[in-house]
Structure 1
Amino acid sequence: MRNYDLKEDIREYWSRRSATFDLAFGHRIPPGPELDAWAAAVREAIGPAPQKVLELACGTGEVTNVLLSLGHEVTALDFSEAMLGVARAKHDGNTRARFILADAERTMEPDQTYDAVICRHLVWTLTEPEQAFADWFRVLKPGGKLLVFDGDWTKPTPIGRIASLAVRVIERFIGHDPYYDGAMSERHANIMTRLPFSGGLTPEGLKPLVAAAGFAEVRFPSHRPIAVAQRRNADLRNRLRTRFYRRFVLTASRPEDGATAGPHLNTLPQPEGISS
């Protein structure tokens, strides 16, 4: 019952934020340098050819837009009907997008259906991460790719602490940003303390869990190009916000039939290669 209650709290929290979610810096992916950076990261991870993609926790459909711009066929799921309503309206009429109400930890999608499974800022909210990784492995075709964009949202980096102080000084003069603060509300903090990754989501902690689910070639390409693109057209306050937390990208693959996952010897990047 504890996990059920937690999931309902998570669903209600994100549903309440759906109407203004795109107004919070870092959630919308605008055309131009930022969209290009996200598209490049996806191409590098799963290849340039159009594929059948399962997008987990699609929210308002911003990453969906990136995937559609690359020609992929997208099944986008979320367990907030309010978020799905925004995403469906945003992509109304696009025949390559299918939106479904579903739990990302138990997708109920058929075995070995997708060429790629992709999510942004989902893994830190998982209530049963081992179950989720096993399910994502199950729905991938042999050779299919997993692509995760996430970060350690529990504590700022050393540079992030300085940037946070600078933002507080700026806001004394220009006022508070209510949309950004929604992500740091008391309710958000309460939910975070009850999650398995309440102590922080790091590449070092995530890699063995992904490998244990059977994934091979677990790698961490740099998140920096996305952060640099976000800063291109942002004001000073938002440029500073891109430096608050350690963000990272994870890629992995389901081995081809007959292959084994192997010893997973790929080394983790140094922190400066992940931070942005």
Structure 2
Amino acid sequence: MLESRIEKYWNNRADSYNEIIQKQMACRKKQAWESLLLKYVGTRENLRVLDVGTGPGFFAVLLAGLGHLVTAVDKCEDMLKQARKNVERAGQNIRFVKAEAHAIDLPNESLDIIVSRNVTWLLPNPLEVYREWYRLLKPAGKVVVFDANWHLRLSDPELQAQCDKYRQLAIEKGYQDKFTQVQKEENDAIARKLPLSSEKRPLWDQQALSQCGFQQIEVQENISDLVHDEIERILYHPTPMFAVCATK
């Protein structure tokens, strides 16, 4: 089953992914992401916020630090273990829930904000997930999605060539790939089975969110200069990160 395969893959990567998050917590990226969250979430405190696909808890910690009441969701228990440690280290109080993104056991219209980073590409059922998030939001609540066309290259030979070119340029600048060959192959194998790997985004997200009933949809097609370091800007040049903010 695809969902089990995804869960196994990310449980196995929990330790190494947590190392990445630790580095982000200790550099300018923390402030960069805080600024972006403030842009979309606003400055009002004590909002009820849901961080979907929290991983090791990076967004959960940032949002709690901004004064919000945070619930963090992930389907991978090993990721949640890392997140709990990071939250304790940060001295924050965050509720954790193990759940799928499309089936979160919270009441209708109980949340002000739902956020996710690098999660929606992994969804086997993204439209169903957006409908679930619409259900959970209060009137005028917001969904904020940060993601990229990470695997569009698998169905686009020209994009694959661009990705290979910029990856080599990044290596020449000092990029060190920490993925094993087995991890790369499994990651791509999973991506080939996921619907958003072949969709051009954020256009797909705009259309899907509108279909779900969201009224106001704001898109920032390239936030890479804001959140990536020099080598990442080279590496991910063909697949820049985007931001989508949809208001119910």
* Change over 3 Å in CA distance of 1:42–1:158 after alignment to 2: farther
Aligned to 1:271: none
Residue 247 in structure 1 maps to residue 241 in structure 2? yes
Pick aligned residue for 1:40 from 18, 28, 35: 35
- How far off is 1:28 after superposition? 5.1
* Change over 3 Å in CA distance of 1:238–1:196 after alignment to 2: closer
Residue 145 in structure 1 maps to residue 142 in structure 2? yes
Contact 1:122-1:150 within 8 A present in 2 as well: yes
Aligned to 2:196: 197
* Change over 3 Å in CA distance of 1:129–1:27 after alignment to 2: farther
Alignment: residue pair count: 240
Q: Distance in 2 between matches of 1:244 and 1:132?
A: 27
Q: Which runs of 5+ in 2 are unaligned?
A: 154-158
Contact 2:75-2:98 within 8 A present in 1 as well: yes
Aligned to 2:156: none
- How far off is 1:65 after superposition? 1.7
Letter in 2 for 1:58: T
- How far off is 1:108 after superposition? 1.8
SS at match of 1:198: helix
How large is the RMSD of aligned CA atoms in angstroms?
2.5
- How far off is 1:182 after superposition? 7.2
Residue 162 in structure 1 maps to residue 165 in structure 2? yes
Letter in 2 for 1:92: E
Higher helix share: 2
User: Identity over the aligned pairs, expressed in percent?
Assistant: 24
Aligned to 1:76: 72
Letter in 2 for 1:53: V
CA deviation profile, 1:211-244 (whole Å, cap 9, x unmatched): 11111111113543x534432xx6xx44522424
Residue 178 in structure 1 maps to residue 178 in structure 2? yes
Contact 2:127-2:208 within 8 A present in 1 as well: yes
**Structure 2 matches for 1:127-146, cutoff 5 A?**
127-146=124-143
Taking structure 2 as the reference length, the TM-score comes to 0.87
Q: Distance in 1 between matches of 2:201 and 2:182?
A: 19
Aligned to 2:86: 90
Q: Distance in 2 between matches of 1:183 and 1:123?
A: 23
- How far off is 1:120 after superposition? 0.5
SS at match of 2:145: strand
Q: Which runs of 5+ in 1 are unaligned?
A: 255-276
Structure 1 segments, 4+ long, off by >4 Å, are 156-161, 168-171, 181-184
